[in-house]
Amino acid sequence: MLDIAFAKPTLPESGALVLPLTEDDLGGSLVAEWDRLLGGHVARGISAAEFKGRKGQSATLYAPGGGLSRLVLVGLGKRDALDATAAEAAGGAAVAALGKESLAAIDARALSNGGGAAMPADIALGAVLRAWRFDRYRTTEKPEDKPRLTGVKVLCEDPAAAKAEWASRRAVAEGVFLTRELVSEPANILNPPEFADRLRKLEKLGVEVEVFGQKDLEKLGFGSMLCVSQGSAQPPRMVVMRWNGSDQKKKDSKPIAFIGKGVTFDTGGISIKPAGGMEDMKWDMAGAGVVSGLMAALAGRKAKVDVVGLVGLVENMPSGTATRPGDVVTSYSGQTIEVINTDAEGRLVLADVLSYCKKRFDPAFMVNLATLTGAIIVALGNEHAGLFSNDDGLAQRIQDAGKAVGELAWRMPLGDAYDRQIRSDIADMKNVGGGRAGGSITAAQFIQRFVDGCPWAHLDIAGVAWSGKDSATVPKGATAWGVRLLDRMVADHHEGRAVAAQPAPEPAEEPAALVTGADSASPATLSEGTPASEPLVPTPDAVTRPAEAAAPVPRAPRRPATRRPRR
């Protein structure tokens, strides 16, 4: 992470200076101050670069005087539109424009007017988020090609207050980085046992960590989850993480729970994916990565809330022991599942972990995250995650938190018409619907059958877990989408107060489906894991590229039992 410091505004002795400006600041006192210190170069540079301060605009002036190597101007747009997201974007834009500088100062005063000490801390957060880089396996990169920026000093009127604000943001950034690192790792390194071992390190932050191995899961009866891993040489793991940050011990107080899908590599199993793009399936564990990063963030900032995080970790491989399409498995809940497609495996993992979470912890609510379906990319592209929920209040809190941090979620429907599509002729249910239409929705309907009336939300992050290009605060690659959203939701609505037991939620009001799509054969309607669906590229549980046809492929489990996990 970048070394961040806060200081009173002074001319740096060397390095670069970043000057974020609104459209209203041009010609104002802030520009005049720096113009005087730099011998008139600022005003001339602004004019020569035709810099207007528009949002997203930037310009670099080289050797502007005063011993500086460069001056970077960053446009903020209209002053009345400034918020935390704008401040973070300014910090990210500054890092992107600093090139080969090793040290830089950012003048935050244009942002901090009215924003107190928060805005300078937000600028620092944007800078560190954008500067992150996964280069563990780069061994021949030339020194001149490597980023050199090691430290940023944020100039503001109250450095002490900004530093205090920065402490919690730094903890969240550390959580984001943990997620990005896990999601970026290749699958030959990050298999289920290795993933679980890395999560033990959270104990240093005060998180209680339990690791369940193959025999533990068999004894518990995790037939649905184990059917996914049985074709792999890598044994499965379930990790339970607990952060007890509340000082309230009321009998009716309940923890809140987050659950992540952790398929460390997804070949599709017997329902194997096409070769093109299959390398992307190393990040089919992004949901588990987000839950891990969230737990690190909450513990790192000592959040006053009781939280449990559970991740189901498996590898989905084809072999002589793999689950076959048509197999029937028994889940931890006792419900039986006909596995039609072994590439619809993520929901099989979540089924057992959600059931276990509900039975053991009886949480106030559960939120699960998964790179679940390619169909959600067809529906929403790479701009929004799909949000499904049986509780309107929980769904609204998630959406509001997402808007606050720039991680957007779009509410999708649930309903009986979709649920009927996963009825099986020989078991309680099948793991995919009967056609291409509504593949993300039928996947959510499947998961909902295992929440046992608990308020619940499912976030399908297939389109947002990985980015093919840089954005303001997210470099190309693993995004860690969801860490900041869920941390914000906890902070805004659940921290510092007991979460009381609540009645089972009333089903969210949703119009009956006008078209079920059960008999659709149109190639324009895409879904996952059906005989008619031929994925154009591999998909996690039916995911990967925006253009792919979603086709999840599942597997079959072995019978589990019941024992305390190995620590």
Residue from 241, 199, 246, 201 nearest 490 by CA: 246
User: What is the C-alpha separation between 70 and 42, in angstroms, rounded?
Assistant: 11
Average pLDDT over residues 486-491: 98
Q: What is the pLDDT of residues 331-365, one digit of tens each?
A: 999 999 999 999 999 999 999 999 999 999 999 99
- Residue 370: pLDDT band (50, 70, 90) is very high
Determine if residue 266 is labeled as part of a ligand binding site.
yes
Residue from 7, 300, 305 nearest 170 by CA: 300
The proportion of the chain whose per-residue pLDDT surpasses 90, expressed as a percent, equals 80
Same fold, 3-157 and 170-501: no
Is 304 annotated as catalytic?
Answer: no
Q: Which of 75-79, 250-254, 338-342 has the lowest mean pLDDT?
A: 250-254
- Residue 247: pLDDT band (50, 70, 90) is confident
Q: What is the pLDDT of residues 153-176, one digit of tens each?
A: 999 999 999 999 999 999 999 999
Determine if residue 284 is labeled as part of a ligand binding site.
yes
Determine if residue 261 is labeled as part of a ligand binding site.
yes
β-bridge partners, 3: 151
Q: What is the pLDDT of residues 269-310, one digit of tens each?
A: 999 999 999 999 999 999 999 999 999 999 999 999 999 999
- What is the sign of the dihedral through the CA atoms of 393, 240, 422 and 374? positive
| pLDDT for 147 | 86
Determine if residue 345 is labeled as part of a ligand binding site.
yes
User: What is the C-alpha separation between 88 and 69, in angstroms, rounded?
Assistant: 24
pLDDT for residue 489 is more than 60: yes
pTM of the shown model: 0.88
Q: What is the pLDDT of residues 91-115, one digit of tens each?
A: 999 999 997 899 999 999 998 765 5
pLDDT for residue 502 is more than 70: no
Active-site entry in 130, 273, 358, 430: 273
Q: What are phi and psi of 151, to 5 degrees?
A: -150, 145
| pLDDT for 100 | 84
Q: Tell me which amino acid residue 240 is.
A: V
170-501 is classed in which CATH architecture?
3-Layer(aba) Sandwich (3.40)
Distance of CA 119 to the CA centre of its chain: 23
Active-site entry in 282, 347, 430, 555: 347
- The residue ranges of every structural domain in the chain are 3-157, 170-501
pLDDT for residue 312 is more than 90: yes
- Residue 27: pLDDT band (50, 70, 90) is confident
More confident residue, 508 or 279: 279
Burial of 34 by CB count in 10 Å (0-12 exposed, 13-18 middle, 19+ buried)? buried
Average pLDDT over residues 218-245: 98
Q: Which of 3-7, 23-27, 459-463 has the lowest mean pLDDT?
A: 23-27
CATH 3.90.550.10 given to domain 3-157: no
List Cβ neighbours of 524 (8 Å cut-off, separation of 6 or more). Answer: none
Residue listed under structure tokens 């308020």 = 455
| pLDDT for 539 | 52
Residue from 228, 438, 233 nearest 345 by CA: 228
SS3 call for 151: strand
- Residue 522: pLDDT band (50, 70, 90) is very low
Is 347 annotated as catalytic?
Answer: yes
β-pairing, 68-75 with 103-107? unpaired
Average pLDDT over residues 74-99: 93
User: What is the C-alpha separation between 370 and 227, in angstroms, rounded?
Assistant: 18
pLDDT for residue 538 is more than 70: no
Greatest mean pLDDT among 391-405, 487-501, 523-537: 391-405
pLDDT for residue 567 is more than 60: no
Residue listed under structure tokens 């041009």 = 26
Average pLDDT over residues 446-465: 98
Residue from 77, 80, 78, 112 nearest 93 by CA: 77
User: What is the C-alpha separation between 375 and 462, in angstroms, rounded?
Assistant: 9
Average pLDDT over residues 51-64: 93
- Residue 212: pLDDT band (50, 70, 90) is very high
| pLDDT for 541 | 58
- What is the sign of the dihedral through the CA atoms of 292, 295, 300 and 301? positive
The proportion of the chain whose per-residue pLDDT surpasses 70, expressed as a percent, equals 86
